[in-house]
Amino acid sequence: MNLDAHLNTAIRSIARAARDLDAAPARQADLARDQLRRATDAIHRTQDPRPHAYSDCLYATQRVATALEYVNHPAFHDHHTKHAVSASLHEALQALLNAQVYLNEPPPFEPTN
């Protein structure tokens, strides 16, 4: 799998986790937890040396980890906790979309002598 494929997997998994927050209450945490783990695995497979893409992927991993902490919290079904999960997922998605932009840009022009 190439970098774009891993990022797309992570983006889809995070989007599914966000959608799973609206599932039946008894299954919400399990469904979201599974998707967030998939997203984290996909992000970890995206090893690119370009600093902006790397830092965006690292930030996305942190935001997914935060969302996972909220999902595992006993007060998960509280409205404010779900809002915090949604905010973390939104930030993770934005970071991954930024990383995707960096990965699709051509390398910087370097003149040759």
Which residue ranges form the domains of the chain, and what is each CATH number?
Answer: 3-104 (1.20.120.660)
Digit-coded pLDDT (tens) for 22-37: 665 556 666 667 777 7
What pLDDT does residue 19 have? 76
CB 95 within 8 A of CB 56: yes
What pLDDT does residue 21 have? 72
Question: What is the mean predicted confidence (pLDDT) over 77-96?
Answer: 83
CB 13 within 8 A of CB 38: yes
Largest Cα separation within the chain, whole Å, is 65
Report whether pLDDT(12) > 80: yes
pTM of the model: 0.71
Mean pLDDT of the chain: 75
What pLDDT does residue 88 have? 86
What pLDDT does residue 8 have? 81
Give the total residue count for the chain.
113
